[in-house]
Amino acid sequence: MQVALLEDLNRFLRGHRVLTLDRQCHEGVWSFCATYQPPAGGGPEVSAKVDYKAVLDEKTFALFSKLREVRKALAEKENLPPYAVFTNEQLAGVARARCATPGDLGKIDGIGPARLEKYGSAVLAAVTDYEKLQSPAGADRRP
């Protein structure tokens, strides 16, 4: 029964543009609250997959890829699907903006105070590390 419910939740989330996803566990019972944009026409939203390698320049895509690795590690640590941590769209926004502060992250659509508090430091550290590697001094240390 649990697996079927999780499959239903994932199917719903895939069919809608999820803006935020909050989850809480109280006395061993999980609850989820999704804020989503209803699909046009009332049916499930079918969004075209974005090829971020094609739409981002080479350096931005490299940072985006690094951010995806960080997101995967965070998601695995909490036993969550990666999109529950950050969406690809949010990570692309972070990479494009080269977010350096919590305020910068907060400007990305869908990254609110809860995500900032929970994941902000890991994302900002990844951006900072990437930028250091890209600087002339850091270029000498690249493998």
Say what the pLDDT of residue 45 is.
45
Residues 88 and 111 in one domain: yes
Contact 92, 64 (CB under 8 A): yes
Long-range contacts, stretch 34-40, CB < 8 angstroms, 24+ apart: 39/15
**CA–CA gap between residue 59 and residue 64 (Å, rounded):** 9
pLDDT (tens digit per residue) in 76-112: 999 999 999 999 999 999 999 999 999 999 999 999 9
Render pLDDT for 6-52 as a digit per residue (tens, 0 to 9): 677 777 766 677 777 777 888 888 777 777 776 655 444 445 678 89
- Tell whether pTM > 0.75: no
Is 119 in the same domain as 56? yes
User: Are both 63 and 40 inside the same structural domain?
Assistant: no
Beta strand residue intervals within 44-99, DSSP E: none
The verdict on 63 and 121 lying in the same domain is yes
Q: Are residues 7 and 62 in the same domain?
A: no
